[in-house]
Chain A
Amino acid sequence: MQADKPTIIPQELAGLGCRFVQQPGAVPMVHAQVDARQWRAAATAVAASGGRLVALWGTDRRGSGAGHAVAAAYALGPTLVWLDLALPLLPGSAENAAPEGVDTGPGAPEMPDQSYPDLAAIFPCASRMQRAVADLNGLHAVAATPDSGTALPVDRRPWLRHAAWPADYFPLRIDAKAEARYAATDERYPYVRVEGDGVHEIAVGPVHAGIIEPGHFRFSVVGEKVLRLEERLGYTHKGIEKCFAGMEPVQGARLAARVSGDTSVGYGWAYCAALESLSNGAVPERAVWLRALALERERVANHLGDLGALGNDAGFAFGLAQFSRLREDWLRRNHAVFGHRLLMDWIVPGGVRADPGTDALRALGADAGVLGIELARLATIYDGHAGLQDRFAGTGCVPEALARQLNLTGMAARASGVGSDLRAQAGFQPYRDLAFRITRYTAGDVAARVAVRFAEITESLRLIRAITASLPAGPVLEPPGMPQACGRAVGWVEAWRGEVLVALELDEQARIRRAHCHDPSWQNWPALEYAVVGNIVPDFPLINKSFNLSYSGQDL
């Protein structure tokens, strides 16, 4: 382990009595080992002070003589707090034993080495993450013994595991063989039924009627009106986290860039930032600025695509034609300057792959100016089009209180009045030097999410012009040294959809023990279920597109 730096104890957590250690790296991050009591007390304290649950994941450390562990990452102001709950290593728990009675209800498994206190009662967004931990690591959230009243039942249905592998195979355990193959079994997933006169179900997916990712939506409707939506995801689960296990950390960057193809810059940067923190490598300043350039170009490309698709979903094909043209121009420029239309693998550990050079940077700045003019023209048309605004306004609403309760993140949160953006936080370079301006709308409907996209493109174009005009000179790549064995670090980046977190933990040989990639969609998918209630079925595609959440990023 590295020498402990002066420790900042987050004030909100000072009463816990655990020892916080500041971690190296660009992200202001503290780490602490907690026990089960502190695990829950910390969640309560974070929730009380307006903090957010960013991610929750499981790790198998039995290869190092320890036991299983669960980890939670919280955002407390500008600080990321990584809490680690090590579960005891009991005799026999070294085997990949199937827990008995996996589905026997809340509080059931009396296995101190494979269970931990539930957080979903405090942070609703934890529920699916805990179900994923149960599927992948075989560690189970257990409801608190209530001091008063009754504990909320823990949702114990599988989340990422469908019929493709058995309930006693836990892929992220060290003794689970990646190459294991199981025949698919018949499967019945217990959707929540809505009963009542005239209620019927509409089942959609996993294969959707468009060029989009697969997932299943179960609507309970009366006539046209949606009473309830239940999402079922996990169809694109392809074992990404198992692929990471045992890899050389430097090789992981390529995989991280493919967690979600629309966010390859976001994941690439987050992964490399985590790795660089463990290699004591200082990324050249010019490379940091160029990474931000790529991040903003990725944001613009995605927002352009969404604005076109949103127009189209409201019956305005002109919008799709115009915005898809602008997006294509943008991607072709990406190819010309960065060698890849979606900017994959341009961010590498230690910096970026190549310096675009002065001429190319000047062209990018000019591009941004031209796009700004085009965008303003189209914004006038979108704003003034009565039919379009009629479909957008008041549709798919997520009020601010709900957004906060669900820990909504990113672009969607900024449309619901939650003014949170990592780029605006202290220390996130180069945004501090660029005087980044946060976008915030309050209505929380499709119209607000459209408005946020227009405003964010405008701000990104300003950033791109500023970066291309004034980025510091110097090298763009400083190959990182050997990463620290047994080290842990995070990368935390405000990608176009929201905050992307990569938590990286290395083993004794400095290979990857655990790389957890967390997509903002984990937080935002549940909000979509609320947003569609009371809307009509034909508005679902529009509402869904206005969030544009990732399947691959959350299915892993």
Chain B
Amino acid sequence: MTWRILKQIARVGNISEAPPQPAAPSGATGDPAVEAIQRDILAILGRAVAIRAVDAGSCNGCELEMQALSNPYYNIEGIGIRFVASPRHADLLLVTGPVSAHMEDALRRTWDAVPGPKRVVAIGDCGCTGGVFGESYASRGRVANILPVAAEVSGCPPAPLDILRGILSALR
């Protein structure tokens, strides 16, 4: 059995790809305060960042692509990015939307549990704009309606590389 497993590992080899360049800084470009915060975070976090993913009401499409980020192709732990189980261990929240009315409170509490300095990246068209679900009795729409968003990654859902670029641009 062990032999079979080792053989399979050797057969596949190392398939990890080089990380992408960060996207052009989004939204808050040129704001010196924001740039300073970005520098601070980099200085404090070094090259390692711990991420807590929060599904605030998505259709699960964005979650699938965030999960895909953990496959061997993207090698995110190799570039210092790690998904963690608790917001108390996190530097960054990746939030998918639309923020459902039922998740608003849980999302706020998750944010409150993250120690500073901390940032939010909104993932997907719904997280950025509310998407096809918009705002209604049940949906609060975009993540920025609830939390301060540092970077947005559009796409329905965004591909893993786009999510990775978004993470990097929120940190650099």
Contacts and interface: CB of A to CB of B under 8 A. Distances in A.
Interface of A: 162-165, 169, 171, 176-182, 184, 206-207, 209-214, 234-240, 242-243, 254-255, 258-262, 264, 305, 318, 321-322, 324-325, 327-328, 331, 335, 341-342, 344, 377-378, 380-381, 384-386, 550-552, 555
Interface string B154-171: 001101000000000000
B71 A261 contact: no
A220 B63 CA distance: 29
Interface in B82-122: 83, 85-87, 98, 100-106, 110
B110 A212 contact: no
A387 to B, nearest CB: 9
A325 B83 CA distance: 18
Contact of B60 (A171, A386, A552): A552
Given A165-B101, A238-B100, A344-B156, 6 more contacts: A239-B138, A243-B133, A264-B61, A321-B71, A325-B72, A552-B57
A164 B4 contact: no
Contacts of A180: 136-137
B128 interface: no
15 contacts: A164-B137, A164-B138, A181-B137, A211-B70, A214-B56, A214-B106, A235-B57, A236-B103, A239-B133, A260-B59, A261-B59, A261-B60, A264-B61, A318-B8, A328-B73
A211 B53 contact: yes
The 8 closest A-B pairs by CB, nearest first: A261-B61, A164-B101, A239-B138, A209-B85, A324-B71, A261-B59, A261-B60, A239-B136
B64 interface: yes
B101 A242 contact: no
Contacts, number: 173
A384 B70 contact: no
B78 to A, nearest CB: 13
A187 B140 CA distance: 19
B139 to A, nearest CB: 4
Given A344-B61, A550-B60, A236 B137 contact: no
A551 B60 contact: yes
Given A214-B55, A235-B57, A341-B159, A255 B132 contact: yes
B60 A213 contact: yes
Interface in B43-61: 53-61
B1 interface: yes
Contact of B136 (A206, A243, A335): A243
Contacts of B57: 214, 235-238, 552
Contacts of A322: 8, 12
A342 B98 CA distance: 19
Contact of B67 (A211, A260, A377): A211
A164 B104 contact: yes
Contact of B68 (A176, A179, A331, A381): A331
A252 to B, nearest CB: 10
B33 interface: no
A318 B62 CA distance: 24
A284 B66 CA distance: 36
B104 to A, nearest CB: 6
Given A164-B101, A164-B104, A381-B4, A260 B60 contact: yes
B10 interface: no
A412 B137 CA distance: 34
A543 to B, nearest CB: 19
Contacts of A342: 61, 64, 157
Q: For the complex, would chain A's binding face be called helix, strand, loop or mixed by DSSP majority? A: loop
B35 interface: no
Interface of B: 1, 4-5, 8-9, 12, 15, 53-68, 70-73, 83, 85-87, 98, 100-106, 110, 131-139, 156-157, 159
Contacts of A324: 67-68, 70-72
A237 B110 CA distance: 19
Q: Which of B5, B98, B136 has the most CB of A within 10 A?
A: B136
A280 B131 CA distance: 31
A165 B102 CA distance: 9
Given A164-B104, A214-B55, A178 B136 contact: yes
Nearest to A381: B4
Contacts of B64: 261-262, 305, 342
Interface centre among B9, B60, B62, B103 (most CB of A within 10 A): B60
Q: A165, A207, A342: which has the most chain B beta carbons within 10 Å?
A: A207
B83 A552 contact: no
B59 A258 contact: yes
Contact of A236 (B9, B55, B85): B55
Nearest to A165: B137
Contacts of B8: 318, 322, 377-378, 381
B106 A381 contact: no
B114 to A, nearest CB: 12
B111 to A, nearest CB: 11
Contact of B137 (A242, A255, A328): A242
Contacts of B12: 322, 325
A550 B59 CA distance: 9
Contacts of A181: 137
Contacts of A305: 64, 67
Interface centre among A184, A211, A341, A550 (most CB of B within 10 A): A211
A54 to B, nearest CB: 22
Contacts of A179: 135-137
A264 B4 CA distance: 36
Given A211-B67, A328-B71, A262 B159 contact: no
A184 B104 contact: yes
Contacts of A234: 102
A176 B138 CA distance: 12
Nearest to B138: A239
A384 B1 contact: yes
Contacts of A328: 68, 71, 73
Nearest to A385: B1
B137 A171 contact: yes
